[in-house]
Structure 1
Amino acid sequence: MTSISEIWALLDTDVQQWLLDNPGTRVLPRLYVNHVPAGGPETGQCLRLDEHGDYWLTPEEMVFLTARRQELVPGKQDTVGADSGGGESTRTGEALDR
């Protein structure tokens, strides 16, 4: 099975942008899966789809996408464990953990 990180450079820019614009998502909808290059099992460039034709992102892919977002927005770093003054920790990528 291929992951999003392995085929990132081959993805349609609309698919890349959707993934970056939707940080809380856990699934790539069929509309966007249809734009992912299909190399078939011989090339290893195929995504494992569920029965509805959707692709569920793995935790590793979520980490990859978080890193991509941070590359595009310098200065926006995760602040895991940082105290916001109210005794709660804050995180700019909090939506990814939901």
Structure 2
Amino acid sequence: MGQRPIVEWWDELDEVTKKWLVDNPGCVVLPRTVANVVHQVSGGSVAQDQHGEHLLSDAEQSFIRAKCKAAAGSARKHW
């Protein structure tokens, strides 16, 4: 089984993990705590290295940056 795309499991993430990802859109390697949550939610389809970290693919990085931009746009509307 291949890796499930982030779009398939994003909505299953808890709000704290989503917030961390959106607040850190330039992060390429997820820290172990975030990687563990992502690994569980993705059904184990997201690979972790020997340190428990996950290297984000280009598609995952693009998806997270889009979520970050959407969140920033939404925040500006509330001013």
Runs (4+) of structure 1 exceeding 4 A deviation are: none
Whether 2:73 is the aligned partner of 1:74: answer yes
| TM-score normalised per structure 1 | 0.62
Per-residue CA deviation, residues 20-44 of structure 1 (Å, 9 max, x unaligned), is 11121101111112223626xxxx7
**In structure 1, distance between residues paired with 2:37 and 2:65:** 21
Aligned residues: 71
Taking a change above 3 Å as real, the CA distance of residues 58 and 37 of structure 1, as seen in their structure-2 partners, is closer
Alignment match, 1:56:
55
**In structure 1, distance between residues paired with 2:63 and 2:38:** 17
Whether 2:64 is the aligned partner of 1:65: answer yes
AA at the equivalent of 2:63: F
| TM-score normalised per structure 2 | 0.75
C-alpha contact (below 8 Å) 1:10/1:37 kept by paired residues: no
Structure 1 residue runs of 5 or longer lacking an equivalent are 76-98
| Bigger-Rg structure (1/2) | 1
**Relative CO higher for 1 or 2, CA cutoff 8 Å, sep ≥ 6?**
2
